[in-house]
Amino acid sequence: MNYIKKNILKFILIFIFTISNSQTYENDSLRGNFTYLLRSIPNNLHRDYVHEELFSLQISDSRSFFISEKTLKFDSIFLAETQTVLNNGSKTIDFRGKSFPKSTSNFMIVQTNDNIQYYRSVGMSLLSYNTPVINNWQLINETKTINSINCRKAEVSFKGRDWVAWYSTDIQFPYGPYKFTGLPGLIIKITDKKGDYDFELVKSMSSSTMKGKTISIDESRYKNSRLVTKQQLDEAKNNFNKNLSSSLENLGVKFTPEQREDFRQREKINEIEKKGYNPIELKD
Q: Where are the domains of the chain?
A: 29-67+107-274
Q: Give the containing element (helix H, strand E) for 19.
A: helix 3-19
C-beta separation of 206 from 34 below 8 A: no
Which CATH architecture does the domain made up of 29-67+107-274 adopt? Answer: Clam (2.50)
- Strand, coil or helix: what is 268? helix
pLDDT in tens, 85-140: 666 666 566 556 666 677 778 899 999 999 999 999 998 899 999 999 999 999 99
Spatial contact of 114 and 133, defined as CB atoms under 8 Å apart: yes
Cβ atoms of residues 181 and 111 within 8 Å: yes
Q: What's the rounded Cα separation, in Å, for the pair 74 and 103?
A: 9
- The 10s digit of each residue's pLDDT in 178-232 is 999 999 999 999 999 999 999 999 999 988 888 888 898 988 899 999 999 999 9
Query: What is the value of pTM for the model shown?
Result: 0.81
Of the candidates 152, 148, 109, 147, the one whose C-alpha atom is nearest the C-alpha of residue 129 is 109
